[in-house]
Homo-oligomer: A and B are copies of this chain.
Amino acid sequence: MGSSSAAAPPWKQLLLSSIQANSHLKHHSYFQLATVSSNNRPSNRTVVFRGFHDDGDEILINTDTRSRKINDLKHCPFAEICWYFTESWEQFRIRGVIDVVDGTTPDPLKLQQREKSWFASSLRSRMQYLAASPGLPAIASSEQPPSLDPSVGPVAAFGLLVFDPHEVDYLNLKSNERLLFTSAASVDAQKLWTSEKVNP
């Protein structure tokens, strides 16, 4: 409420606390990402949380540009994250818009972030982007796995998804409380967040 909330989204601290509280669990950094396919049907998959973009509220996700979600996002850029924390019984449903950053993106700042995300990935993760196209029929190959120079930048198949949240629906099943955070643009194009307590 007020201009100060543009700098610090009120749900972000809640989310960071949940990540912290569940950090001893394997895969606390996984969530499910829903999109709409070009046939207008829903699509849903598990992806890895790669942190926030700088100090803002945009969520980073790495992806293979050959995967179906890229086509989904060209058709409809809206997405919903469902992030459930099994230990603390908290759910974050995060609604927003995804910007796909690949090697053809003209914006140098976005390309820089893509490169940063590439080098922040393990070598094993990077190797996946050299593998055969995901989802296509598997053909047995006698070829040696490709080698990858650790100093080489992102390959063509490496894409960065920048998820810009507009609304966050937070549910705490222990306290049986639910909060709905919604954003509106201020005159200087900053997001202004407000929250409302709703029935769980």
**A interface residues (Cβ-Cβ under 8 A, vs B):** 25-27, 30, 32-36, 40-46, 76, 78-82, 84, 86-87, 91, 93, 95, 131-138, 178, 180, 196-200
Once the chains bind, are B199 and A138 in contact (CB under 8 Å)?
Answer: yes
Please tell me how many copies of the chain the complex holds. Answer: 2
Contact among B40, B131, B137 for A36, CB-based, below 8 A: B40
Contacts of A40 in B (CB 8 A): 36, 40, 76, 78
Contacts of A198 in B (CB 8 A): 134-138
Once the chains bind, are B41 and A80 in contact (CB under 8 Å)?
Answer: yes
Contact among B34, B135, B196, B197 for A43, CB-based, below 8 A: B34
User: Whole-angstrom distance from the CB of A76 to the nearest CB of chain B?
Assistant: 7
Which of A27, A30, A44, A86 counts the most chain B CB atoms within 10 A? A44
User: Whole-angstrom distance from the CB of A40 to the nearest CB of chain B?
Assistant: 6
Once the chains bind, are B197 and A93 in contact (CB under 8 Å)?
Answer: no
Once the chains bind, are A42 and B46 in contact (CB under 8 Å)?
Answer: no
User: Whole-angstrom distance from the CB of A14 to the nearest CB of chain B?
Assistant: 17
A-B residue pairs in contact (CB < 8 Å), sample of 5: A34-B80, A42-B42, A131-B199, A131-B200, A132-B199
Whole-angstrom distance between the alpha carbons of A25 and B46 in the complex? 18
A180 nearest in chain B by CB position: B135
Whole-angstrom distance between the alpha carbons of A200 and B137 in the complex? 10
Contacts of A36 in B (CB 8 A): 36, 40-42
A41 nearest in chain B by CB position: B78
Contacts known (A32-B32, A136-B198, A198-B137); A41 close to B95, Cβ less than 8 A: yes
Once the chains bind, are B80 and A42 in contact (CB under 8 Å)?
Answer: yes
Contacts of A86 in B (CB 8 A): 25-27, 30
Contacts of A87 in B (CB 8 A): 26
Contacts known (A27-B86, A34-B34); A43 close to B80, Cβ less than 8 A: yes
